[in-house]
Structure formats: C-alpha cells, structure tokens
Amino acid sequence: MTVRIDQERCIGSGQCVLAAPDVFDQSDDDGIGLVLIAEPPAELLPGVRDAVDRCPAQVVTLDE
Amino acid sequence: MTEAAVCPVHQDRDHPLRPPVGFQEAVSDGPVRMLWPNGVEAWMVSSYAGVRQVLSDPRFSTRKGGQPEMRTDAGEAVLDPDQPGNINGIDGPEHMRLRRPLSRGFMVKRMNELRPRIQQIVDEHLDVMEAKGAPADLVASLCLPLPSLVIAELLGVPPEHQELFQATAGDLFGKNGSKDEYLAHATKLAEVLAPIVAAKKAAGTNDDMIGLMANDTDFSMDELIFLCIGLLAAGHETTSNFLGLFTLHLFEQPDQLEVLRRDPGRADVVVEELLRYTVGHLGGPGLTRRATEDVEVDGVLIRAGEWVSVSLMANLDEALCPRADELDLERDAVSHLGFGFGPHQCLGANLARAELQIGLRTLFERFPNLRPAVPVTEMRYRNDMITYGAAEIPVVW
Ligand code: HEM
Ligand code: SF4
C-alpha cells in the first residue's frame, strides 16, 4: 500500500489534507501536496481513499 | 449523431430555493443541447460522472477565445478574452503558472490560522446586530461584510473600498454586466491597488496575498492587478450568497436546523452537505468549457469546438449519494462538486469553508431562536445567472 502524489500536476488545493490530515500536508514553499506517511496503517486508509476520490487534479494514488 | 431537443435556458423559479422550473427534468437524461438567450447552443452535462469528466479532461478548455460563448443576455462579453491574469480562462502550464503561487496563499494551514480572526469579525458583527435589536437584515449585518472584510485583509487592501469591490464584483458576475461599467470600476480599483502593490514591492514583504504576488512570483503588473480584482470579486459575492442561502434552507427545514443546534461541533460536515445541496438546487447553467477535440461524454459525442455547460446540479445525482435530492445534515461529507472539480476547482474553497463554518455555527449559537421575519418565499432575491442569493434576509430572534 503506497500513497503517492504526482506533484507536477498537483494544484495545491489541500483537499488531501482535509481528507487525511495525518497522511498529507502542504509544502510551506508552494502549497503543493506532500505525503507524510507513504505506507499508512490500515486505520488511515479510509481517509486516503477519500483523498484519492476528492483530489481535484486526480493526482493522489494508492497502490493496493 | 441524433439531433437532441434544444431547450431554452431560463431562470424562472416557482420557489426561490429550488431550481428553475422544468430544469432538472430537462437535463437529467443529458447531455442535452440547450439554447442560450444570445442564440448560442451548448451541451449541458449534469451527471456526476460526466461533470467530473468534463472538468478534469484537458481536452475541454476554459479558454473563451474569440468565439461567441453562451451568455445569459444578448450583450457583449464583459471581459476581454485575453485579459492578463484571468486565471479562470487559461489552461495547462499557463494556468499552473498563476495558480501555484496563489494556492500557497490559500493553504489549509493558512486558512486555519485565519480562523480566530474570522471568529472575531463574526462576533463583532453579531454584537452590533444584537445591540440594534430585531428585526435585522442578515445580509447587511453578516453575510456581506464578513467575506468582504476577510478577503480584503487577506490581500492587504484597506476595507474602506468595499463598495468598489462590490460594484466590480457585480459587473463581473452579474446578469447584465456592461463592459463600460466594468471598465470604469476596474480602472478605479486599479488606481487603489497600484500604490499598495508598489509599497509591498518596496518593503519586500510577503505576509499577505499582494505581498506574496508582488515579491515571490513573476506575475506582471497587469496580471497582478487583475488577479486582485478577481479575488476581491470572487471572495465577495459567492460566500455571502451562500451564507444567506444556507440560513434560508435551514429556516425551511427546521428538523435539519435542529441537527446543527444539537451538535454545533459538526459545523464542518454540515457545511459540506449544505454546499452540496444548495449548489445542486441553484440549477441553471453552470461552468463553461469548450471541446478542443471530439470527446464522448455520457454516451454522447461532443465535437471539437462545441461549447459545454457543466451543471453543478450533478450534486443531486444519486450516483453521488443516496437520496441526493434531500438535505441530510447527518450524512458524512461526500465528494460534492460545489466548488467544481479539476484544475480550476475553487481557489478560495478552504477560505469559504472556514467562513461558512464559523459564520453559521456562531449565528445559531448566539441566536438559537433566529427565524425569518417574513416568509422565505416573500423575500427579495437577486436572480443573476452566475451568482444567486437573497438581497435581504429580514430576521427576528
Ligand atoms: C461558497 C463559496 C464559493 C463557491 C461555491 C465557489 C465556487 C467556485 C467554483 C464552482 C469554481 C470553479 C469555476 C470553474 O471551474 O470554471 C470556482 C473557482 C474560483 N473561485 Fe470560488 N467559490 C466560492 C468562494 C470563493 C472565494 C471566497 C474565493 C476567493 C478568494 C474564490 C475564488 C475563486 C477563484 C480565483 C476561482 C478560479 C480558479 C481557477 O480557475 O483556477 N471562490 N469557485
Ligand atoms: S488534493 Fe490533490 S491537488 Fe489538492 S493538494 Fe492534495 S494532491 Fe494536490
């Protein structure tokens, strides 16, 4: 289970941070999405799936 | 391709909080061709999947170009199609160049830091409303000043120019916007903004949006000024209308208001559901795109060059959530399209959320018996095509 963000296409919307604040953050330099926990434990996966769904640029992926 | 029926677009409502008459029925089996008052035909897409597809597929452009686009009246376009800094009208890398630095200013973290200040503004305005006594107009007391003060502070513009922001917002997003009026207001606003930008440049500070744009980006002066105008206008109109509409929906559905009263701590989830439902019930034409290649959407072939209007009535699609037509403040937040989707999704979404959550929660905590002074159906509404809301909300408590 690996979480990734394609930062090239990320628009810095922060939807991932709202969906799973423990897993994602935004860079102080440019607001771009950051993955804090690349291999999140099971209890954080629902939030990650929500982020995958909500990301407006569709750049959050979870390889299951 | 079979010739679909062409329905005219209109904004006549039989209830101020419901979509225009017949609209939902007309578009629900979409995509359908619709005819705009200025004679342009466009595809209307209104399914949840279709809307997400159009808004995120790079083959649909937001560039309005030289082509006549659908308009809600026969008038001339207010904005020059090549207006520098028009973030909503450019695609791809050009769009990212403007969008990225702005995103930083609207980060979730920054919006959370703003919350105490938003709370303070809300408290001060409700203090005044209470002191003056009932009846009060909620729009003038809270809905309008809150977003306007917050966006002015965020940018770093003195709030005394509020009326000018509002007039310009009206020109840009109003129904019968006239180009001459817009240009007159925009010129005045640019005169207010230019010395502020120059001062920020000289000081080299980036602690507000203008400072950030002036010192941390490669934006040209023209881009910067228009971005400020756009942000002031967008920050001004939308959130104030929604705060008012949310309150009206809650007045009309007291069982739902009870959910918020019982558990004000749920304000974040409550605001998401109200956004989903309210945006869905605005109906009418939505966001504009143009196909740059032939693309199939919901089983229909949209040809290169054709206009597409994306209806956020998609928020009422059962594919998004069960009983999508109902307001249910007890449901968990769903991925609604109230702020759009794709690379142009609302830049101010996290700011609007903070204002709506704090505003709505505090309003009903302070005035648990708040109620309309006249029936919701008898209030005055601004039936503009892009922004819709109550002109006045007389309340007692
Ligand atoms: C409840 C309040 C709001 C709603 C429902 C809303 C809705 C939207 C929607 C649907 C879009 C997408 C337009 C498109 O795809 O063509 C959008 C874009 C935008 N919004 Fe908002 N908005 C709100 C508040 C705000 C605020 C407070 C700001 C200001 C700071 C703002 C600034 C913008 C900007 C700059 C864009 C263009 C973004 C781009 O094209 O990249 N909005 N908004
Ligand atoms: S939700 Fe998507 S676009 Fe927004 S910050 Fe996260 S990764 Fe970037």
| Torsion of the alpha carbons at B330, B332, B338 and B342, rounded to the nearest 10 | 180
pLDDT of residue B7: 67
For B7-396, give the CATH class: mainly alpha
Mutate which of B102, B155, B339, B346 for ligand 1 pocket (most atoms within 8 A of beta carbon): B346
pLDDT of residue B2: 41
What are the tens digits of pLDDT across the range A5-64?
999 999 999 999 999 999 999 999 889 999 999 999 999 999 999 999 999 999 999 997
On the CB side of B165, how many CA atoms lie within 13 Å of its CA? 28
- Kindly identify which residue of chain A lies nearest to residue B353, measuring between CA atoms: A18
State how beta strands B41-45 and A24-26 pair: unpaired
Q: Where are the domains of chain B?
A: 7-396
- Kindly identify which residue of chain B lies nearest to residue A21, measuring between CA atoms: B108
Taking the whole predicted model, whether its pTM rises above 0.90 is answered as yes
Q: A2-57 in CATH: which number?
A: 3.30.70.20
- Regions of chain B where pLDDT drops below 70: 1-8, 65-77, 173-177, 384-386
Nearest chain A CA: its distance from B126 CA (Å): 29
Nearest alpha carbon, ligand 2 atom 4: A13
Nearest to B351 by CA among B110, B95, B98: B110
Q: Which residues of B touch A52 (CB under 8 A)?
A: none
CA B356 to chain centre: 13
Q: Which are the contacts of B217, defined by CB distance < 8 A and separation ≥ 6?
A: B101
State how beta strands B287-291 and B307-310 pair: antiparallel
Kindly state if the Cβ of B239 falls inside 6 Å of ligand 1: yes
Residue identified by tokens 């990212």 is B96
Distance A27 CA to ligand 2 centre (A): 11
Burial B106-118 (b: 16+ CB within 10 A, else e): bbbebbeebeeeb
| Rounded-to-integer distance, Cα B109 and Cα B382, Å | 34
Nearest to B64 by CA among B337, B308, B386: B308
Q: Where are the domains of chain A?
A: 2-57
Nearest alpha carbon, ligand 1 atom 40: B88
Secondary element (H or E) of residue B41 = strand B41-45
Angle between helix B209-216 and B221-252 (nearest 10): 150
Nearest to B103 among A12, A28, A50 (CB): A12
Secondary element (H or E) of residue B52 = helix B48-56
pLDDT of residue B353: 97
